């Protein structure tokens, strides 16, 4: 079913003795002022993995092959697939410039990640750019007392490249003791209105795709339990859905939310967010808050009708 409502919201990710999003040095990603943040890519990747594990078709995710090109030791090495190879793997036929763009577009929109996040599909004769209905911002850490920890790791193997190495090598793992990332997002189904006109039978952004994104906001980080992400989990999310005919627009909502550290249970201060939503209250169709009741007090919006649920009710 086609979705016509715009949505604004935030999603919270907790990182405890973990590294939610590292830079190329291995340290938690940060801006020049030292403020720690997580990129939109760090948020989207667990969403894609969750959808893929649940049987959805995903285009933009790293997959591998054993290379056949090259000579000697360069042959038969593990390599990431090219975009063209990934497309052909998913759809079972050759991608070339003769393939109708209508066909390529339909294929792309059949992928859950493209339907939500859009795509940049730069291939010869098929140069396609889709601005996603779902746009995710950068998630800044809202906890002011975060400390970066470095843990030394002893490898079980000696590094033979070092001539004087007579013991196993040392490595390190960089983590934060505690961080609380808040990601702003928006959902604008109108981003696909041009494609509805171009492709007969294409209805645009669907309610099903939105519900899949919504579920990912609640459980994807918790489900994505790799070594560096063990200790990362979803801890809250807020969804503000407007009426179909509403022309109201909101700025990124993360700047209107404050994280308050408690002795045993934490709190979200939504005072400023409440004031913002009051100004458009008659245009809001539904407001929903999901939170972890074991780590957060029940968040409250003032002057706005809303529903609050435990994260585990939806999960």
CA atoms of 155 and 14, how far apart (whole Å): 29
CA angle 218, 14, 8 (to 5 degrees): 45
Q: Is residue 155 part of a domain?
A: no
Q: Is residue 168 part of a domain?
A: no
Q: Is residue 181 part of a domain?
A: yes
Q: Is residue 138 part of a domain?
A: yes
- Residue 78 pLDDT: 85
Q: Is residue 15 part of a domain?
A: yes
Answer for the pair 58, 51: CB distance below 8 angstroms, yes or no: yes
pTM of the model: 0.92
Q: Is residue 151 part of a domain?
A: no
Q: Count the domains in the chain.
A: 1
Cβ neighbours of residue 282 closer than 8 Å, sequence gap 6 or more: none
Rg of the chain's alpha carbons, rounded to an integer?
22
Answer for the pair 229, 20: CB distance below 8 angstroms, yes or no: yes
CA atoms of 307 and 288, how far apart (whole Å): 5
Range of the domain at 92: 7-64+71-146+174-314
Q: Is residue 153 part of a domain?
A: no
Q: What does the pLDDT profile of the chain (315 residues) look like in tens digits?
A: 999 999 999 999 999 999 999 999 999 999 999 999 999 999 999 999 999 999 999 999 999 888 776 666 666 788 889 999 999 999 999 999 899 999 999 999 999 999 999 999 998 888 999 999 999 999 999 999 999 999 887 777 766 666 655 556 677 789 999 999 999 999 999 999 999 998 988 999 999 999 999 999 999 999 987 765 788 999 999 999 999 989 889 999 999 999 999 999 999 999 999 999 999 989 999 999 999 999 999 999 998 999 999 998 765
- Residue 165 pLDDT: 58
Q: Is residue 158 part of a domain?
A: no
């Amino acid at each position: 079913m086609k979705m016509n409502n715009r949505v604004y919201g935030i999603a919270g990710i907790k990182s405890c003795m973990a590294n939610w999003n590292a830079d190329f040095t291995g340290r938690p990603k940060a801006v020049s002022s030292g403020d720690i943040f997580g990129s939109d890519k760090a948020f989207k990747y667990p969403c894609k993995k969750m959808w893929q594990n649940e049987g959805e078709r995903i285009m933009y995710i790293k997959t591998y092959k054993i290379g056949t090109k090259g000579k000697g030791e360069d042959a038969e090495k593990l390599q990431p697939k090219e975009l063209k190879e990934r497309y052909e793997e998913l759809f079972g036929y050759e991608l070339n410039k003769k393939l109708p763009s209508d066909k390529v577009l339909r294929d792309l929109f059949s992928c859950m990640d493209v339907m939500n996040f859009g795509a940049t599909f730069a291939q010869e004769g098929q140069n396609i750019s889709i601005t996603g209905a779902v746009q995710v911002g950068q998630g800044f850490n809202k906890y002011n007392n975060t400390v970066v920890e470095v843990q030394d790791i002893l490898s079980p193997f000696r590094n033979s490249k070092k001539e004087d190495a007579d013991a196993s090598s040392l490595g390190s793992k960089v983590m934060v003791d505690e961080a609380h990332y808040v990601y702003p997002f928006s959902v604008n189904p109108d981003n696909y209105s041009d494609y509805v006109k171009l492709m007969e039978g294409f209805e645009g952004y669907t309610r099903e795709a939105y519900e899949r994104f919504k579920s990912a906001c609640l459980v994807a980080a918790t489900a994505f339990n790799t070594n560096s992400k063990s200790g990362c989990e979803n801890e809250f999310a807020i969804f503000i859905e407007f009426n179909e005919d509403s022309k109201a627009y909101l700025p990124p909502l993360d700047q209107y939310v404050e994280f308050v550290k408690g002795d045993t249970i934490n709190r979200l201060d939504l005072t400023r967010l409440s004031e913002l939503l009051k100004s458009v209250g008659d245009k809001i169709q539904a407001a929903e808050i999901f939170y972890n009741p074991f780590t957060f007090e029940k968040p409250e919006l003032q002057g706005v009708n809303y529903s609050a649920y435990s994260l585990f009710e939806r999960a």
